[in-house]
Structure 1
Amino acid sequence: MRLFFLGAALAAFTTAHAQMTVSGKISSTQPAKALVFNVPFDCWQNAANSVEVVPDRKGKFSIRLPVEKPQIIFLIYAGKRLQLYAEPGKTLVMETDDSLKTLKFGGSVGKENQFRRQLGLTTYNLGEQTWNDTLSAPEQILTDLGQARQSALLLLKTSRLSASFVRMTKADIQYYAVSKLWDLVWKNGVWTSDNKSKYGQNEWRRTLKAAHEAVALSNANALDSYHYQIMVSYYPRYLQHLASNKDEFTRIAEAVFKKSFVEINQLVRQKGERYWEYTALQYGFKGRVLEYAMASFLINGIDQGNLEYQQEAYQDFAERFPESPYMPDVRKKMKPFLASLVKTEAELADIRFVPNSPDIPTLDSLVSGYKGRVVFIDIWGTWCGPCRQEFSFNQALKDRFKGKSVEFAYIAVEHRPNPEKSWREMIAFYQLAGSHILAGKALVEDLRKIYVQQGNLTFPSYILVDKSGKIVTIHAKRPSDREALYKQIEQLL
């Protein structure tokens, strides 16, 4: 009996120790808005890891978060995001207002968060910004970031804070330049036709290369660092952007894969873009960092619904790192995906694959088979992140119209050759009850013609068809719009 109580007490202690309490007060003149806390596996803010808390009438709130290691967590409020330092078993007390500009920290990790705020890291900065995002030369931005790094490291030396905090923050400072440059590349759209920066791809390419060469790629002491994790995640994209022409990219790709470019092209077309990413991570990293990078690839693949090469990568990871400390998290994330791969026909009874769907020539010919029912059509692709995000709202939509004359149809537009395997896997994983069409060239062309009259076809797009088979709107609300979409459908019943 004593052993039972000891075990129960130990379990309770472990559970409590693997949590962190965040509390405080938001001063606001507006009605209370929800604070969203996100406890990520690494640097990616995925919705599956978010929890909300609504302050009371006095603006006070308190929430317990599943923090199992020293890490950065996110607070999203009023359209802004803060990066907060967290440790298991600790407390953070914060006071702020609607602007999130006046921040005060207390609790057992209050000093740590106050120090990071002093450096600027809480708001994704490092010191004062001395450049212009679009007008300054990338090389000058990197020089300014180097000066900010030196100043921040000097402050850290005198901080007298915990060893785990100092190690993480030191890495954040060291890798901040790489992380910030990527942020500016995306914000400016440097590798798009709408580059907002005064400088072109060559200038940004040289600066990215200089920033990466100034730091260690495989640094096991930096694994808890948000900005190091950003560098690891973007490394496959970095290799792509290193090339300024096809010949340079061919040389890089052949070095990564150790195969001819013809073979590489065939493999990537067959296995998908994530096969390139997975192989690039193995090329660039080693030891514990490679182990982390592979685990991150798998966990974020599930959280983001990007399932290309997921099963193959998991098998490889399990064989190479069976005792990995990341394995429990990886197995937990992979479990529903692996289960979806072996579902029986009875379990997939609500999922209907339309026979010979690539031969369907037009939208009209498709909807003619559903007369007498309202049809909600989801135009999506396995490659489309926003499409996958909307799937989490599907069950509420279908529950709302259960037993009513509403049909749910999904038209997938794919770019890869032989996309059927990944298409079917994703449908089973998300349990997308309804009719499924894999669009052929004729149907895709018809959709583009329909949308060009009212703007281009974007993904996801949603169409509503009434009971007579007439298209009511090609710009229906999204499942995440909830009541706005429900009202649109109800008006047609």
Structure 2
Amino acid sequence: MKWFSSVLFVLFPAFLIGQTKNSIQILGNINGKIPETIEYTLPIGGIDYFGFTDSVQPDSSGNFQINLKVNQTCFIDLSYKYKSFGTLIVDPGMTYKVHINTEDSKNQFIVESKNAKGQLLYNQIPNRSMIVGGHFELESRKYSKDSVPSVIKQKLEASRTNELQSFKDLLKEKIISKDFYRLVETDRDYFYKGAQGSFAFINYLNESQNKNTLNKTQYTELWSAIFKSNPVTNPELLKSPWFYFYTENYLRYNELILDNINTTFLSELNKKGLIHTHNIENAKKHLSGSQLEYYFAAYIYYEAINNNYEQELIKLFEEFKKEYPSSSYTHFLEPVIIPIISFHKKKEEPLNEKVKFVENTSEINSVKDLVKKLNGKPFYIDVWATWCGPCKEEFKDNPKLYELLKSKNITMVYISIDKEGKDKQWRDMAHFYNLEGYHIRANKKLDDDLRNIFGSQSLAIPWHFLVDENGTVLNKKLSGGSEIQNLEKQLTENK
């Protein structure tokens, strides 16, 4: 490979290698397309949370350097826009040479260090963190047809044991340190216990539809057991990327099982815009100290980046700052709260006259009905929803999209598949993102027609397609504004 050439030792001279006992150094090189920045999780008190990051800008050759004060073994994830390149397990006083290949998924992340085998092994774990596509629920789905709690626990324990065995071998060979092994062991323990809790939670939710494989006694026992063996109060859990999600599962257990809170009650709180306040109040009942501060901050961040712009989060942010005036987490929360403040200020401004809501939509039950209502024109249709993050990401490229459509004499139409309860949120978002064109929120029949056109009941959005003046679909899969050159080619072919 290119990056293993001797030139690397010129790029990373020997005088940079020396480290103090309470610091680490990461010397990086990128092969392929160089991202604008390399984001890395900041191990405040040893924690690892995907939202609490700093960044460094690579030079024109793809080289970068990160120096951090670290007094304990911890995880550091390197990423760009929530896409992980890889995870380092760092021991204080060490230097790591990291090679990132943005064009080779099989060899995307390679680490040179005395514990390189341990680094490679950990990065081969498919569920090492949420941003690499792992989650408790994904793991628990593997056992969805199992109905014997002891069998479920045995399978989860077997997966955990098999995963850790290779690390035990590396520890025995003194390739990784005891602290390195203990960190991985705690992380894997809590991941598989979290998957067990997720399986119990899914059974709880499925019970109302008689789709549960475990009865209430079984799933309750399965759920409660994990918090006895693996309590959220374990300070080592804070270092795991799974702390937030494991604690979330613990709070659900307390609320739904021990406190017997009805899900209908929670749904009503959500409609009233009070669910986040309720969730934090519940956290305060069961958490304290550093666990509560971390969870409170992580909760605000996680909910804010969904870009649903709930005003309630602004209030919780102010509450967090008051309760933790010197918190290291505040710095990470401010950038995700500012857009929410801007969203609510925008609502007070006049609506752009080019943002047009279609009225009297009760009889618009198909795309052809919609075209007829709008007097028959060629339409570029964007199917989206207020809860869809990728949909909102596409809106950043709308100026280029509108210019292209205008040149082709094609009219823009946005169809939202939000439910009726989200009507106000839908209108507010169209206003906030300045979505020029016609807007309609699909009723049940129009929603069914869209899924029929798409060819599946599982509708993947954002979805863009082209219809002519009669409502006939000319191209049912178009690019969005983020791929403007490809879209222009598609529209030219469909002229």
Relative distance call for 1:182 and 1:266 in structure 2 (3 A) is same
Tell me the number of residue pairs that the alignment of Structure 1 and Structure 2 aligns: 432
Contiguous gaps of at least 5 residues in structure 1: 1-17, 27-31, 194-198, 241-248, 255-259
Q: Is the 8 A contact 1:149 1:173 kept in 2?
A: yes
Q: Does 1:63 align with 2:64?
A: yes
Q: Is the 8 A contact 1:340 1:428 kept in 2?
A: no
Q: 1:90-143: CA deviations, max 9, x gaps?
A: 86313588574797633xxx34x637427x43333799xxx9995893312444
* Map 1:278-293 → 2, pairs under 5 A: 278=280, 280-293=282-295
**1:64 to partner: Cα distance:** 5.1
Q: 1:265-302: CA deviations, max 9, x gaps?
A: 42234338756654554444322222222222222333
Partner residue in 2 for 1:176: 188
Which TM-score applies when normalising by structure 2?
0.65
Q: Is the 8 A contact 1:295 1:330 kept in 2?
A: yes
**Letter paired with 1:375:** F
Relative distance call for 1:300 and 1:485 in structure 2 (3 A) is farther
* Map 1:186-225 → 2, pairs under 5 A: 200=213, 207=222, 209-219=224-234, 222-225=237-240
Distance 1:466 1:50 in 2: 47
**1:237 to partner: Cα distance:** 5.8
**1:234 to partner: Cα distance:** 4.7
Q: Does 1:436 align with 2:451?
A: no
Which TM-score applies when normalising by structure 1?
0.65
Where 2:272 maps in the other structure, the secondary structure is helix
**Letter paired with 1:268:** N
> Which of 127, 134, 154 is the matching residue for 1:140?
154
Relative distance call for 1:405 and 1:271 in structure 2 (3 A) is same
* Map 1:90-169 → 2, pairs under 5 A: 92-94=96-98, 98=104, 100=106, 105-106=111-112, 110-111=113-114, 114=116, 116-117=118-119, 120-124=121-125, 134=142, 137-144=151-158, 145=160, 166=179
Q: Is the 8 A contact 2:38 2:79 kept in 1?
A: yes
**1:390 to partner: Cα distance:** 4.2
Relative distance call for 1:181 and 1:435 in structure 2 (3 A) is farther
Distance 2:235 2:153 in 1: 28
* Map 1:335-484 → 2, pairs under 5 A: 335-343=338-346, 348-349=351-352, 352-354=355-357, 356=359, 359=362, 361-362=364-365, 363-368=367-372, 370-371=374-375, 374-394=378-398, 396-398=400-402, 400-401=404-405, 405-415=409-419, 417=421, 419-439=422-442, 443-452=443-452, 454-456=455-457, 458-460=459-461, 461-467=463-469, 469-479=471-481, 482-484=484-486
Distance 2:469 2:67 in 1: 48
CA RMSD of aligned residues (A): 5.3
Distance 1:20 1:114 in 2: 15
Where 2:242 maps in the other structure, the secondary structure is helix
Q: 1:195-236: CA deviations, max 9, x gaps?
A: xxxx95567775554333322313455434323344235545
Where 1:226 maps in the other structure, the secondary structure is coil
Relative distance call for 1:102 and 1:482 in structure 2 (3 A) is closer
Distance 2:316 2:54 in 1: 22
Partner residue in 1 for 2:16: none
Distance 1:410 1:40 in 2: 37
Partner residue in 2 for 1:12: none
Distance 2:324 2:182 in 1: 28
Partner residue in 2 for 1:29: none
Contiguous gaps of at least 5 residues in structure 2: 1-22, 129-138, 207-211
Relative distance call for 1:94 and 1:324 in structure 2 (3 A) is closer
**1:448 to partner: Cα distance:** 0.3
Percent identity of the aligned residues? 19
Partner residue in 2 for 1:23: 28
Where 2:335 maps in the other structure, the secondary structure is helix
